[in-house]
Structures are given as structure tokens and as C-alpha cells.
């Protein structure tokens, strides 16, 4: 019998977590309302949450449980993937929603929280199992984790008993030093296997499908290497600007915001060796090897391999867009990059001298995340010496219109042999009849199950920073700033030149 939703059926059959108390620190914030509670509700509506699963919000504002539930219902009405919200599902879900008001820095609040959790263990069967979601600004992370430890709210997995896990949101530092400091604090209270560092790109269905595509099919691995691949392109383009996050973005820039985490995760998945098992450490061991093999930026010559840009006034999708420097809480002389393009090499046996071109930017013409593998041309122009042959391109569309396509040359109909590129396509929505679930749904479920395959390990984070730090420092100390590009274009000309110098051009996804 075929299943209507094979992905969901797999999860239901094999993997039902035990009910736990999921505590959200920062429950009054944007992430909770836009992503976390809607994702949890969607899991409930798909029947993937265990009976008794409990969610406790913790933040400074005073709310009763009832007021918190009402606010979360509004959040789901606005943001849940599975809408309209079903009243019966909601009623059941809301019975497991509670709220405790308290400061991140004061122990009284944690004492009240501990009492609430103990009560939930009695009434909802959560058995002392705890997941702490730190949706808090990074400066609060040390305090929250230290107080949790001091209040006896963290169970050491080395001794028998219920699990404690902690979920940490990015940014994991802003350079190697701060990332190491954060990690040191984390392992002061938790063991590495209790720590779930979220990179929401890993929760995207199509990102996970990269592994299935590569390693569940016999044919692709045979040409997934320097012998057949000419180069690889990765694009994370956004049409939005920095919106209300100008203050944060000023201290980050696109390289820290997108490349250090999301794009290096994509790059590792594309370039990694097959893991010995589909298991957290086996997969992450292979990913971190890719990061370790990234060629260092040559001191003083970064410009040959890296371009940064900043958007000026323009028009995106028909609407006027202000310059980055006029955004809220952005310095009018800012030199923060809102676009970056890098040419990267992975110095290992498989990829030696194959360029990987990465670009990420805000205020580009559209939102698209796309990976394309460009194959070497046929060795000899058999059909016509004068007619151009095209490279075969395998394009993996992460979002939107999720899918995979392969471009190849075909004979044009007619008595003469003329060729033209055509495309063979797999579209996620057509094949599976549904939009893929939200990344946070999958990641929250994986945390409840205790599987950290889709989370960043300490050495991944630190290796990524160690590689990027010299580039970021060189940009900071350089006398020049980013190249301007008009909002609504594909970045500065220098980004085109980065490929043109190699006789290549960016794919227009």
C-alpha cells in the first residue's frame, strides 16, 4: 500500500518521543511567536507530539497561563503552517501550555519555574524530562545556563535518570574567540551530547534531501568529484533587507549571519564523504572534515577570492527599497556588508582545485536558495565544431519551489543535428502533493527524540570561525569598504568579475 505522506509515516512508525517539559526562555519574543509555538502546534496537528508533551514559556512580562495561551493562539492563527488552526487540536495542545514570569538573571524566577515543572511531572507525566530552549540574546546564555545548573535543574546524563537537553540559537559567537567562550560556558553546565545548536537550514526538508539524494542513489557518487565537476555554485539570495534587525546586523554582516553557518552547512553536505552510518557523530565527523580542508584566504590577497557589497537605494519586486545606510539603527557611514561572494577551495582528494563559488545577499531580486553542480563539458564537439555545447548542470533548489533539475543537451527536432539545452525536473510539491514542513518542526522533534544529527557540533562551529576569522579581520582593517550595489540587483559588478576571471558566470536561479 502506498502512503499519502511517506515522510510522516516513517516518523510515526519509528520515532515517538517521550513526553517532556520544553521550557522556552524568551517566550515573549518574536522567535517564539513566529516560529516555535506555530511549529509545535503543527507537530501536534500532525499527531507527532506525544500525549502529555508540555511547553512552559519563561520571560519577564507578567502573563497568566490563560493570557499566554490566548497570545500563542494568535501567533498560530498568523504563522502556523497548518492553517486554519483546528479548534479541537488547539484545545488539546493549549492544555499543555504554561507560563512562568521571571528575569533571566534572578534565581527566584527559576525557583518558581522548577516548582511549575515538578507540578507538570505530576499532572502530565513528563517524568522529569527537560528541554531548555534558549531563545535569548547570546549575552544571557552564560547566566541562564549557570543558574539552571546551580538550581539543580540539569540532570547529568552520566547518571541514570531523565534527560536534560538544551537548545541554543545562533549566533554562536561573532568570531573564534567568542564562539570558544560560549562553548566553554555551555560545557560547564551541559555535556556536549546534551547541547543542540540550531542551524535552521539543517531542518529544511530539501537540505536533508541532499544526503538522501547523494547517498541513497547509486549513480550520483560516481561523478561527484573533481574528475567530472567543473565547479559548484551556492546562492542564498533574499529580497528582504535587514528589516527591524539593523542593530544586530550592523555587528554581524552577511558573512557572519548567513555564510558562517547556513552556507557552510550546505557546503559541507554537498562536499562531504559518505558517512559510515546515518548517525549524529558519523555524519558530523564527515562534515567537519570538509571544513578543515577549506583553503585559507591568502593574507593580503583576499580580494582575488572574496567580494563584499552593500545595497544602496533601489527597487525590489516592484517596490522602492531604501539604502542599507538609511535603515533603522544602521550607521549612516556603515561599512557592514549586506552581500558577499567567495571563491572557495576544498583541499582534499575529491575536490582539489574545483572552485566552489558562494554568494549570499540581502535586497537581491528574489528569495532563492540554490545549489548547482556544473559538470565538465563533453571532451570533443562531435556534432558541430561551430555549435556551442552546454555544461550539464544539476540544480538543487532548497527554496522556494523545492526540487532538483538536470540540464542536458538535446537534439532540436528537424533534419539537421542542432542541439539545445533542456531540463529534467523533480518538484517536491508535485511528487509529494504538499509543501515541506517548516524547519523548526523537524528540529524540535529531533531534540525531543535526542537525535543531534541535524545540529551543529562544537568543532563544526569553531572550525568554521577559524577559517573565516582572517577574512573578517582583514575586511575590518582594510581602508576600503564594501562595493555598492543597487537594491534589486544581483550584487556588485565585482561579484560577476570574480567568476568572469575564470571564464564562468553566475547561474540565474
How far is the C-alpha of 238 from the C-alpha of 501, rounded, in Å?
26
Query: Which of 124, 200 has the CB closer to ligand BG6?
Result: 200
Q: How many residues bind ligand BG6 (CB under 6 A)?
A: 4
- Tell the smallest beta-carbon distance from residue 263 to ligand BG6 (Å): 11
| C-alpha cell belonging to residue 307 | 567580494
- Tell the smallest beta-carbon distance from residue 258 to ligand BG6 (Å): 6
Of residues 79, 200, 231, 262, which has the active-site annotation? Answer: 262
Query: Which of 116, 363 has the CB closer to ligand BG6?
Result: 363
Residue 34 sits at the vertex; the CA angle it makes with 255 and 32, to the nearest 5 degrees, is 90
Among residues 74, 107, 114, which one has the least CA distance to residue 90? 74
Q: Side by side, which strands form the sheet with 339-344?
A: 419-427, 403-411, 393-399, 368-375, 229-237, 356-361, 339-344, 306-312, 483-486
Q: What is the DSSP string of 14-74?
A: H--PPP-EEEEETTTSHHIIIIIHHHHHHHHHTT-SPTT-EEEEEESS---HHHHHHHHHH
Residue 232 sits at the vertex; the CA angle it makes with 231 and 234, to the nearest 5 degrees, is 150
Q: What are the residues whose beta carbons fall under 8 Å from the beta carbon of 73, sequence distance 6 or more?
A: 85, 90, 94
Query: Which of 169, 462 has the CB closer to ligand BG6?
Result: 169
Spell out where 354-430 has E strands.
Answer: 356-361, 368-375, 393-399, 403-411, 419-427
- Per-position x/- string for 160-199, each x denoting binding to ligand BG6 as judged by CB under 6 A, each - no binding: ----------------------------------------
Residue 207 sits at the vertex; the CA angle it makes with 203 and 459, to the nearest 5 degrees, is 70
- Tell the smallest beta-carbon distance from residue 238 to ligand BG6 (Å): 5
Query: Which of 257, 370 has the CB closer to ligand BG6?
Result: 257
| C-alpha cell belonging to residue 241 | 533587507
Q: Which residues pair with 341 in a beta bridge?
A: 307, 359
- Tell the smallest beta-carbon distance from residue 150 to ligand BG6 (Å): 31
Query: Which of 17, 403 has the CB closer to ligand BG6?
Result: 403
Place of cell 538536470: 406
- Tell the smallest beta-carbon distance from residue 200 to ligand BG6 (Å): 6
Query: Which of 238, 327 has the CB closer to ligand BG6?
Result: 238
Q: Which of 121, 238, 302, 446 binds ligand BG6 (CB under 6 A)?
A: 238
- Tell the smallest beta-carbon distance from residue 257 to ligand BG6 (Å): 5
Within residues 311-340, the interface with ligand BG6 by CB under 6 A covers none
Query: Which of 362, 407 has the CB closer to ligand BG6?
Result: 362
Closest residue by beta carbon to ligand BG6: 257
Give yes or no for residue 370 binding ligand BG6 (CB under 6 A): no
- Tell the smallest beta-carbon distance from residue 399 to ligand BG6 (Å): 6
Within residues 208-237, the interface with ligand BG6 by CB under 6 A covers none
Q: What burial class does residue 271 get, using C-beta atoms within 10 Å of its C-beta: 0-12 exposed, 13-18 middle, 19+ buried? A: buried
Query: Which of 257, 441 has the CB closer to ligand BG6?
Result: 257
Catalytic, 483? Answer no
Q: What are the residues whose beta carbons fall under 8 Å from the beta carbon of 15, sequence distance 6 or more?
A: 445, 449
Number of H helices, E strands in the chain: 16, 17
- Tell the smallest beta-carbon distance from residue 206 to ligand BG6 (Å): 11
Query: Three-state SS for 487?
Result: coil
Cis peptide before 194 (omega within 30 of 0): no
Give yes or no for residue 257 binding ligand BG6 (CB under 6 A): yes
Binding site for ligand BG6 (CB under 6 A): 200, 238, 257, 369
Active site residues: 262
Amino acid at each position: 500500500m502506498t502512503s499519502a505522506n511517506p515522510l510522516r509515516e516513517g516518523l510515526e512508525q519509528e520515532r515517538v518521543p517521550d513526553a517532556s517539559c520544553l521550557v522556552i526562555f524568551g517566550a515573549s519574543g518574536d522567535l517564539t511567536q513566529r516560529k516555535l509555538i506555530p511549529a509545535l502546534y503543527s507537530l501536534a496537528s500532525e499527531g507527532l507530539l506525544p500525549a502529555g508533551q508540555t511547553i512552559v514559556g519563561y520571560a519577564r512580562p507578567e502573563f497568566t497561563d490563560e493570557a499566554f495561551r490566548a497570545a500563542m493562539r494568535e501567533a498560530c492563527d498568523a504563522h502556523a503552517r497548518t492553517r486554519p488552526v483546528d479548534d479541537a487540536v488547539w484545545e488539546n495542545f493549549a492544555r499543555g501550555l504554561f507560563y512562568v514570569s521571571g528575569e533571566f538573571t534572578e534565581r527566584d524566577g527559576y525557583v518558581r519555574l522548577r516548582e511549575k515543572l515538578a507540578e507538570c511531572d505530576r499532572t502530565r507525566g513528563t517524568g522529569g524530562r527537560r528541554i531548555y530552549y534558549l531563545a535569548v540574546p547570546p549575552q544571557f546564555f552564560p547566566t541562564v545556563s549557570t543558574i539552571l545548573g546551580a538550581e539543580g535543574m540539569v540532570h547529568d546524563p552520566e547518571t541514570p535518570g531523565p534527560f536534560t537537553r538544551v537548545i541554543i540559537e545562533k549566533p554562536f559567537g561573532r568570531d573564534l574567540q567568542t564562539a570558544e567562550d560560549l562553548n566553554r560556558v555551555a560545557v560547564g553546565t551541559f555535556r556536549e551530547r546534551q547541547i543542540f545548536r540550531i542551524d535552521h537550514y539543517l531542518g529544511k526538508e530539501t537540505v536533508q534531501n541532499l544526503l538522501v539524494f547523494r547517498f541513497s542513489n547509486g549513480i550520483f557518487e560516481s561523478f561527484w568529484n573533481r574528475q567530472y565537476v567543473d565547479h559548484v555554485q551556492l546562492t542564498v539570495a533574499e529580497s528582504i533587507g535587514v528589516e527591524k534587525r539593523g542593530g544586530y546586523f550592523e555587528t554581524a554582516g552577511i558573512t557572519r549571519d548567513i555564510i558562517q553557518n547556513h552556507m557552510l552547512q550546505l557546503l559541507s553536505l554537498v562536499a562531504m564523504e559518505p558517512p559510515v552510518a546515518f548517525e549524529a557523530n558519523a555524519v558530523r565527523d564527515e562534515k567537519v572534515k570538509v571544513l578543515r580542508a577549506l583553503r585559507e584566504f591568502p593574507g593580503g590577497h583576499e580580494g582575488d577570492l572574496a567580494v563584499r557589497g552593500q545595497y544602496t537605494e533601489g527597487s525590489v519586486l516592484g517596490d522602492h527599497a531604501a539604502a542599507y545606510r538609511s535603515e533603522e539603527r544602521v550607521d549612516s557611514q556603515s561599512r557592514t556588508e549586506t552581500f558577499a561572494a567567495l571563491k572557495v577551495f576544498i583541499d582534499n582528494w575529491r575536490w582539489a582545485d574545483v572552485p566552489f563559488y558562494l554568494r549570499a545577499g540581502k535586497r537581491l531580486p528574489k528569495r532563492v536558495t540554490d545549489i548547482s553542480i556544473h559538470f565538465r563539458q563533453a571532451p570533443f564537439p562531435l556534432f558541430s565544431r561551430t555549435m556551442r555545447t552546454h555544461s550539464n548542470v544539476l540544480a538543487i533548489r532548497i527554496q522556494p519551489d523545492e526540487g532538483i533539475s538536470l540540464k542536458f543537451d538535446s537534439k532540436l527536432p528537424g533534419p539537421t543535428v542542432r542541439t539545445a539545452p533542456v531540463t529534467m525536473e523533480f518538484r517536491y510539491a508535485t511528487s509529494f502533493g504538499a509543501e515541506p514542513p517548516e524547519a523548526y518542526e523537524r528540529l524540535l522533534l529531533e531534540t525531543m527524540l535526542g537525535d543531534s544529527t541535524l545540529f551543529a557540533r562544537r568543532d563544526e562551529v569553531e572550525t568554521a570561525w577559524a577559517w573565516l576569522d582572517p577574512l573578517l579581520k582583514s575586511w575590518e582593517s582594510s581602508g576600503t569598504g564594501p562595493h555598492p550595489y543597487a537594491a534589486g540587483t544581483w550584487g556588485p559588478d565585482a561579484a560577476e568579475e570574480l567568476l568572469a576571471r575564470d571564464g564562468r558566470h553566475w547561474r540565474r536561479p
